[in-house]
Amino acid sequence: MTRLDRSPGGRWLSSVLVAVGLAVLPAAALAQARGIDPHAQAILKGSTDYLAGLKQFSVDTQSTIEVVLQSGQKLQFDNGASASVQRPNKLVARRQGDLIDQVFYYDGKRLTLHNLGEKYYATVAAPDTLEAMLDFARESMDVIVPAGDLLYRNAFEILMGDVTSGFVVGKAVVAGVRCDHLAFRNADVDWQIWVQEGDRPLPRKYVITSTQVAGAQQFVVVMTNWNTAPKFAEGMFAFVSPEDAKKTDFLPLSAGSAPAQAPSTGGKK
């Protein structure tokens, strides 16, 4: 059906579907969580430690960000991305979607953003570690890596920095992979993460909901095609300017301004 069924029968069917959905939800998801469940913490820490311990990896993501209009109506915009990381200081990621087509390069010395659609690029000297570069990009130039908090070696501390409650929702399947579904909350956002079961506890889905924004703006990213031992080509992290690309400059954030970005957990200081 492509239009809402407002008939009595349609309303009855909707009520039945809602009741059935509630009936199959885990009990933990129906009750307000109190405090932080140590089991949820342990699963999250196992995942962040595993990811931090990988010397290199690649992953594909599909993200959706909501924009809430002044009227309260929500719009969604989708972006696909592929990212390759080599610790301690290499990253290349391409994002394609409704509003963007760009490649992000970091070779340990310089940060470059190449906009393929409009054929221009900007490059700037950057710090010599992945974590310092991510801080620099976000705070100085409003360049945000989706779900970038997960790339930090101390991701667990960042994510849990101001969490007030957390629990294990239950088991779930994301893109055919069985996962543990975790839910956390702090003063500003609710966030969820789905962690793959077994000896490769990779994050598979990440959802952030801004509870302090009218309409509860939401950011969702699903992670697939993880490769924890990829073979990267020599020089793949260094940007080489195409002949038809024009160089421009990053616009630094003005003093006191805040970067416009997807909702974050708020744990990064």
pLDDT at 7: 47
Return the residue matching tokens 């956002």: 189
Taking alpha carbons only, the member of 63, 23, 40 closest to residue 181 is 40
Give the model's pLDDT for residue 166: 97
**pLDDT grade for 261, boundaries at 50, 70 and 90:** very low
Give the tens place of pLDDT for each residue, 116-151: 888 899 999 999 999 999 999 988 888 877 788 999
* pLDDT at residue number 259: 37
Indicate whether 24 pLDDT > 70: no
The rounded percent of the chain whose pLDDT value lies above 70 is: 81
- What domains can you pick out in the chain, each with its CATH number? 32-165+227-248 (2.50.20.10)
Give the amino acid at 48.
T
Question: Where is average pLDDT lowest: 13-22, 82-91, 232-241, 246-255?
Answer: 13-22
d(CA 247, CA 119): 9
The pLDDT confidence band at residue 28, using thresholds 50, 70 and 90, is low
Confidence label for 157 from pLDDT (cuts 50, 70 and 90): very high
Model confidence pLDDT, tens digit, residues 166-187: 999 999 999 999 999 999 999 9
pLDDT-derived band at 2 (thresholds 50, 70, 90) equals very low
Q: Mean pLDDT for the chain?
A: 85
Q: What local confidence, expressed as pLDDT, does residue 252 receive? A: 65
Beta strand 177-185 pairing with 165-174: antiparallel
- What the block records as the tokens of 116 is 């393929």
Distance of CA 75 to the CA centre of its chain: 18
What integer is the mean pLDDT of 202-222? 89
pLDDT band at 83 (very low <50, low <70, confident <90, very high): very high
pLDDT of the residue at 16: 44
Question: Which tens digits make up the pLDDT trace of 44-68?
Answer: 999 999 999 999 999 999 999 888 8
SS3 letters across the chain: CCCCCCCHHHHHHHHHHHHHHHHHCCHHHHCCCCCECHHHHHHHHHHHHHHHCCCEEEEEEEEEEEEECCCCCEEEEEEEEEEEEECCCEEEEEEEECCCEEEEEECCCEEEEEECCCCEEEEEECCCCHHHHHHHHHHHHCCCCCCHHHHCCCHHHHHHCCCCEEEEEEEEEECCEEEEEEEEECCCEEEEEEEECCCCCCEEEEEEEECCCCCCCEEEEEEEEEECCCCCCCCCCCCCCCCCCEEECCCCCCCCCCCCCCCCCCCCC
How far apart CA 71 and CA 63 sit, in angstroms, is 24
